Structure 1
């Protein structure tokens, strides 16, 4: 059977506070990137596809590098990974402000910030939570961390909007680069003793065996497929909705408030998902979330667009926004144990980021080709129904390992 932690070496409050603050900064900043689409493309004379491609590469780099960041965090602890990630984040934001060409913009806003997010977001933080918090409180704790990411969006998106309007987009990015370095002192609060992982989580498998076991297990594939849809929907809406609303004649402040509402209501949605995950079948929770998204999107594009309809849509969608995160990651821990949790969560998140890449890039490509986002909205609805169905067959019981597999 899968192993579970025995005696945590870090306090519950310490882990939750530091982990939540790290996620607040890292996720809060990246949720506002859609606000930079029009200022940057208009001043630089680039197409929306150029900006979209760079942010799509960011999501793809985040997913690919996240697997290796998870491996390092499982083996060496989250502390070192968080330090490297924070420095990369600051350099990427500064480079994003100073890039004169699409290639340099893609390398900084795309590759470098993607690598930074791999080392400062959920997979790394959830690894610490999985090792340091008892199984009976793990889903709840992951919900708290996801809620922090949502609060970061609620807090940071309006701040980013104000920074752009008051300082200009160049200076605003430099200010954010300095702010993200606050992750460095917070990382010390997640520094596990070197013996912590080895002492609390016996490693019955090598990395290769853990990966092979997961990819042979159908439920892991179902979770990856659902997370692909999650990434597609969230990335498309987060990056392109501000421009979609401006195309419909609404002012830029509507988009800022809408994205902030997404973050505010997801504080409650993520926390509730974590709580419900302790009591009900997580696969059913995921199915309800994805189906709810599909219905919300269909109503939003089917009704006349106004500030009120946008705010209602943002609130409903926000309630369902990151609520998949604690539920999916808690399922991975529940099925496979926590010894390789950051790495396996990294693989699931890679699928999420492939979906993010397609959602962002296709949004820019189809808009430049057709002058409309309509096709992407329809795809997002269909994928929501698909994700609801694909999560229902997931088996939630811990995987049986009758014979120990020595490392």
Structure 2
């Protein structure tokens, strides 16, 4: 880490604390989030609910996460990230506890759906990206955010094998207890995410930047009228649909193909491992090339490889190769989206505006996870689900490539970031 990584107004120690705290928080929160698909079979069998019922709880989790993210982001923009992240961590553990006590679909929806959904908006990508974006200089922003985002993928490499091993040997309830343990690890990290809150507030108070006097209302109006932002938000919807379909339904698809249960956890772990590479790679690409082109290429490539995987018979080899490729194209777009929005609108309302875009992402996640479950229950296969994911993915990728990347009228042309 060089001396130029921190922006004016931040000390080196504050920047390091924010980045380390964000990394560990993402490792835990996103690792657990991407492992819920492993609980589908044991919970549905134990509680006597359908796959669609379980996936409805996950779908509501994603929708609540998206719906509350702009509100949480606006609060963090105004008052700081520390207590948002700390309270979100406590709510995460409480939601797991309610899920453990579930006897049917309703309690699954409350615990796994609403409570963890709100907790995710306080502890996951968008809040960590916003806090980290403020703590690094513009010239290093997208690259550093790529490294932070990679830690979210490392979490699945930890959480998925942990959950699968405990589910197989001790049952899903013990696996949930282990996840509460991950929340304990996450708690001090959440506290350190807010290490730059005072510095950010002072910078905002004394700033002479072009966005210093911009009101939230005007920022929202500008965003709604900027075609590049609108296209990015809509394309993010497609991103959410594709990723949640793979994360939540791939283990079940593997089981339907008659493959060993361990392969589902291995696939999720492989996604996590290669996503670390993808976050680093896409963060570098987003700093070197136009971000709209990088994002569009990711959406198109994902769609192409989804077609290739589902058209051939599933085997351990094809599944792990597919997981590795998806990992490279996974969460690495988050820092690129954050950098793209900061490039257009500046940093003052970056948590709010990325939160709104993320709401579209989570609406896509809601449709992807629940809709695929309904398609499976109705047709007995995932064929229609992946076909829809591919078609809209290709359309989103092309649109994103041609999206306007010029800054809002009050901002100067961006320097490379």
* TM norm structure 2: 0.93
Matched, 1:261 2:270: yes
User: Residue 377 of structure 1: which of 380, 386, 395 is its match?
Assistant: 386
Partner of 1:130: 133
Which residue in the other structure is 2:398 paired with?
A: 389
- Indicate yes or no: 2:353 matched with 1:344: yes
Provide structure 2 residue ranges, at least 5 long, that are not aligned to the other structure.
1-5, 413-417
Whole-Å separation in 1 of the counterparts to 2:238 and 2:399: 11
SS of the counterpart of 2:352? helix
In the alignment, the residues of structure 1 paired with residue 196 and residue 252 of structure 2 have an alpha-carbon distance, to the nearest angstrom, of 47
Distance 1:401 1:273, change over 3 A: same
The CA distance in 2 between the partners of 1:154 and 1:314, in whole Å, is 12
CA contact (8 A) 2:14 2:195 kept: no
Structure 1 residue runs without a partner (length 5+): none
Matched with 2:314 is 305
Cα-to-partner distance string for 1:11-59 (whole Å, 9 max, x where unaligned): 4332221111110000001110000001010111111110010000000
Alignment of 1:266-345 (within 5 A): 266-345=275-354
Q: TM-score, normalised by structure 1?
A: 0.95
Partner of 2:171: 168
Measured against aligned partners, the alpha-carbon deviations of 1:285-314 in whole angstroms (never above 9, x if no partner) come to 111111110110011011121111111111
Where does residue 367 of structure 2 map in the other structure?
Answer: 358
Structure 1's 402 and 372: CA in aligned 2 closer, same or farther, altered over 3 A?
A: closer
Preserved CA contact (<8 Å) 1:123 1:343? no
Distance in 2 of aligned mates of 1:383 and 1:153 = 26
Deviations 1:258-283 (A, max 9, x none): 11101111100111111111111111
CA contact (8 A) 1:229 1:352 kept: yes
Judged with a 3 Å threshold, the aligned counterparts in structure 2 of structure 1 residues 138 and 304 are, in CA distance, closer, same or farther, namely same
1:85 paired to 2:94: no
**Separation in structure 1 between the aligned mates of residue 89 and residue 39 of structure 2, nearest angstrom:** 21
Distance 1:402 1:92, change over 3 A: closer
RMSD of equivalent CA atoms: 1.6
Shift of 1:196: 2.1
Q: Which residue of 1 aligns with 2:239?
A: 230
Q: Aligned partners of 2:129, 2:10: CA distance in 1, in Å?
A: 14
SS at structure 1 position matched to 2:231: helix
Distance in 2 between the 1:323 and 1:383 partners? 20
Instruction: Tell me, in whole angstroms, the C-alpha distance in 1 between the residues paired with 2:34 and 2:395.
Output: 25
Residue 97 of structure 1 contacts residue 171 of structure 1 at CA under 8 Å; is this kept in 2?
Answer: no
Shift of 1:193: 5.6
Q: After alignment, is 381-390 or 170-179 more displaced? A: 170-179
CA distance in 1, matches of 2:82, 2:411: 34
Relative to structure 2, which stretch is displaced further, 291-300 or 178-187?
A: 178-187
CA distance in 2, matches of 1:125, 1:365: 33
| SS of residue in 2 equivalent to 1:6 | coil
Look up the match of 2:161. 158
**Using the alignment, how far apart are the partners of 2:316 and 2:187 within structure 1?**
39
Q: How does 1:66-77 map to 2 (within 5 A)?
A: 66-77=69-80
Moved over 6 A (4+): none
Distance 1:263 1:367, change over 3 A: same
How many residues are matched? 400
Could you say which residue in structure 2 is the equivalent of 1:58? Answer: 61
- Selected match of 1:187 from 161, 175, 190: 190
